[in-house]
Every structure is written in structure tokens, then in C-alpha cells.
A and B are shown apart, each in its own frame.
Chain A
Amino acid sequence: MTEQFAEATPLRVVVVPCSGIGKSYGTVTREAAYIVVEDLCPETTHIVPLSLLVLGDEQAQEAVRGVQVITIDGCKLACATVNVGQAGGQVAREFTVLDCYRRNKQFKPQGIAELNEGGQALAQALAQEVAQAAGELSAQGGTHA
């Protein structure tokens, strides 16, 4: 599993969602990350699981070092951004669900195990922003400056 992102890392942008489980916003970050890596930018992006970074897994830490990392956080505690930093990675772009929601107030997210329509739409909107950033970072070259 971790070998996959270790091999692919130099060519790809890493996306790290926050893993939040207590609120809808956490689910939105997860959903947005999946939309980016599965639908919008499957060739240029991949997810590194935050739980492995928290544990200090060497391969996961290696996978976020020296590459372009985009973090997506669900709350102001910014777990994804903080944990990538602690793993020795540099965050190229950080997104938060709340900022995206402020720009898209019509999409009110509800539900955690399963997002409502508003949550799905917000995840789509957020994924578009992340995908655009990933495209820009890929164009600059996958590895971090």
C-alpha cells in the first residue's frame, strides 16, 4: 500500500484530507479528496492517509517530503496541515472546508456517515478548487521547490 505512493510520489501531487470523524466538514474533506484523486486528477494526484502520518510511518512520511502537498482541513485545528508539517513535509496549498463554504453558502453540509446533497455539492466545489491547484502544481513539476 505505502509502496504505491512511495513509487508514485515524484510524479504526483499528494492530497491529505483531515480524517475528521466528528462533524460533516471532516466527511466533506474526505469526499473532496476522493473526487480529486479518483475523478478529476487520477493521473497526477494521490492520497496519503493521515493516520499513517500520525503514527509516524516512515514510508508515509517519506511520501510527503520533497513533494507538492495539498492539505484539506475540516476545522481550524488544521490536523492535516499540522501533521504533514510534523512529518517533515511542506504544504504547498492548504484548503479548508469553512473557507469553501463561505464562498458557497447555498451548499449546507449535513450528515457524517453519509453527506446530504448540500454536503456532496460542497465536496464537489472544494474538489474543483483542489484540482485546479493540483493542476498548477503539476505544471510546475511534481517535486517541491
Chain B
Amino acid sequence: MPSLPQRKVGIVACSGEEIPEGTVTRLAALKVLEELRPNDTVTICLPLFLAGGEGDRAFAKFYPTIAVDGCEKRCAARATELYSNKPAVSLLVDDIIAERGLPRPQGLRRLSSEATPLVDALAEAIAAEVDLLMAARWSRAEGKVLEPETTTPAKVSSAACACGSGIPVTRVQVNGRALEIMALDPILEMAYNQGLHVGVDGQADPVPEHKGVEAPAVFLPAQIMDTVRLYNTIPAEDDAYYAEAVRIAWQSYCAGKEQTHG
């Protein structure tokens, strides 16, 4: 089976050679890549955006990317946006220095030991952003973070009854109201196995109209509702709601069966 590309976050460090902050970005990025989040992160050399191919330039579209810069020129963030895609996050060493009250780093080839807390703090900030991006939805088509999906409860869901009897209970949402129906799954299974299908059965009964309940799109076989009544006590005033709930469940069940059968 072909393996799908794993979800990861890209890190692009400026690595600026002429200032200590450039070395800080490089070491912090490497700390995240090698120690803090090795399974969740990838990197690319910044100059590859110009020297590389189309694949390299697609980097920040394919991966949500964190640009890490050593100075206000923001080479990593701006070059990434210029050649690839707008980074999801842009971090600046100066901001970390200000936030944490840390001393300015010294040294180019070898950072002074006083710079170690800054490297650690920047690495932690990157790792925190990695965690946020891993939890977010990323569109590779659009190259941006998508709005969180609003979780709507499934229209039809089944579970064993809380009484411990083992009888399955199906919960169906009708017009914002959740109805629980005992033994609905086996009833629908039996009906389907007896040859009843959505909208094709000659003995089907239309669901009665009821205030607040939309007119049914499909017919519900009368036998199903009769059997449901055997196992469930349905108040007369809620009959239309239950009928609609069973119709939705029946439609969903049949659609599932048809998908399974191709």
C-alpha cells in the first residue's frame, strides 16, 4: 500500500553568518529538529529556494513553516514568502531576548556560554509553535492554516444501552432534538435483509407531516415503524419526530449498505 506523506512542520532558519543571532537561529532550529521534535519537523536550506527546483520552492506550501530570523531584515521569513509561500509563523531572536530578559549573544563561530539560555528559549518557542501547527488543519492546496472544523454531532450514532442489557440504542438528531431508539440497528438490518430499500418499496408509508418537521425526502416502510413501536414507548405527540428519526436512520443505513456493496 502506498504510504501517504507524513504530516510535519517545516523550519527555516536564517543562519546568518555575520551576526551571533544568526548562529542562535541555526542552533535553536537544529535543537528542535534533532532533540525536541525530531518526528514532527523538517528543514530546508534557505538558499535552496533560489538554487533548488520546483520541489524545494513548494516547501512552505507543503509544510506549514516556521521562519526563524536573527535580525529585523527577516531574511528567512521574507525569502520564504518570496519564493515559496508565506510562513505560518515568523519568530525573531530579538523578541525572545526582550520577552525573557536575556543577554545579547556574543560570538559567531562559537557562541559564548551566556547565549545557551537564549538558544534554549528560542528552541522552546519553536517547539511550542510546532505543537500548535501540528494540531491545526493545514491546506496543502491553499498553503495556509484552515479554520478549525466545527464539530457537528453525527446525525445517527449507536451504542450499547447504559442499562447493561446489551440492547443497542441509536441516537438520532432531528431538528436539534436527540432521540434515543432501542434496537433500531437490528430492526433496520432485518428490514434490509427482507428486501426493503429506500424509496423503492411498494408498501412504503409516507411519514406524517408534523409542525417543525420537514417533509420526508424518502418513504419509510410501515413495517419498520411498527417494529420500532414494539421495542420503544413513543408518546403520541412525538410520533412524527420518531418517524422522522427512523426515516433518517433508515436512509443512513441503506446508504451505508449501498456504499459497502459498491
Q: List residues of chain A with CB within 8 A of the CB of B30.
A: 21, 112-113
Q: Do the beta carbons of A17 and B17 come within 8 Å of each other?
A: yes
Does chain B have a CB within 8 A of A130?
Answer: no
Number of A-B contacts (CB under 8 A): 98
Does chain A have a CB within 8 A of B75?
Answer: yes
Q: Do the beta carbons of B78 and A49 come within 8 Å of each other?
A: no
Least distance between B82 CB and chain A CB atoms (Å): 7
Least distance between A32 CB and chain B CB atoms (Å): 10
Q: Do the beta carbons of A86 and B73 come within 8 Å of each other?
A: no
Instruction: Give the interface residue-count category, chain B.
Output: 20 to 34
Q: Do the beta carbons of B49 and A54 come within 8 Å of each other?
A: yes
Q: List residues of chain B with CB within 8 A of the CB of A5.
A: 18
Least distance between A142 CB and chain B CB atoms (Å): 19
Does chain B have a CB within 8 A of A121?
Answer: no
Does chain A have a CB within 8 A of B109?
Answer: yes
Q: Do the beta carbons of A18 and B17 come within 8 Å of each other?
A: no
Option from A21, A30, A33, A57 in Cβ contact (under 8 Å) with B13: A21
Does chain A have a CB within 8 A of B181?
Answer: no
Q: Do the beta carbons of A50 and B27 come within 8 Å of each other?
A: no
Assuming the A-B contacts A19-B17, A54-B49, A113-B30, are A49 and B22 also in contact, with contact meaning beta carbons closer than 8 angstroms in the complex?
A: yes
Interface residues of B in 1-33 (CB under 8 A from A): 13-19, 22, 26-27, 29-31
CA distance A70 to B17 in the complex (A): 15
Assuming the A-B contacts A54-B75, A55-B75, A113-B34, are A80 and B47 also in contact, with contact meaning beta carbons closer than 8 angstroms in the complex?
A: yes
Q: Which of B38-46, B139-147, B217-225, B249-257 contacts A (4 or more CB under 8 A)?
A: B38-46
Q: Do the beta carbons of A22 and B44 come within 8 Å of each other?
A: yes
Q: List residues of chain B with CB within 8 A of the CB of A77.
A: 48, 51-52
Does chain A have a CB within 8 A of B76?
Answer: yes
Does chain B have a CB within 8 A of A38?
Answer: yes
Does chain A have a CB within 8 A of B102?
Answer: no
Q: List residues of chain B with CB within 8 A of the CB of A69.
A: none
Option from A22, A35, A52 in Cβ contact (under 8 Å) with B45: A22
User: A18, A19, A52: which has the most chain B beta carbons within 10 Å?
Assistant: A19
Q: List residues of chain B with CB within 8 A of the CB of A56.
A: 82
Q: List residues of chain A with CB within 8 A of the CB of B22.
A: 49, 51
Interface residues of A in 8-60 (CB under 8 A from B): 17-22, 26, 30-31, 33-35, 38, 47-57
Q: List residues of chain B with CB within 8 A of the CB of A19.
A: 15, 17, 45-47
CA distance A57 to B73 in the complex (A): 9
Assuming the A-B contacts A21-B29, A34-B109, A54-B50, are A79 and B45 also in contact, with contact meaning beta carbons closer than 8 angstroms in the complex?
A: yes
Q: Which residues of B contact A (CB under 8 A)?
A: 13-19, 22, 26-27, 29-31, 34, 43-52, 71, 73, 75-76, 78-79, 82, 108-109
CB-based closest 7 A-B pairs? A79-B47, A34-B109, A51-B75, A82-B51, A79-B51, A113-B30, A55-B75
List 26 interface pairs A-B (beta carbons < 8 Å), by A numbering: A18-B45, A19-B17, A19-B46, A21-B15, A21-B43, A22-B45, A31-B109, A34-B109, A49-B16, A50-B47, A51-B15, A51-B47, A51-B75, A54-B46, A55-B73, A55-B78, A57-B73, A77-B51, A79-B48, A82-B47, A82-B50, A83-B47, A83-B50, A112-B30, A113-B27, A113-B31
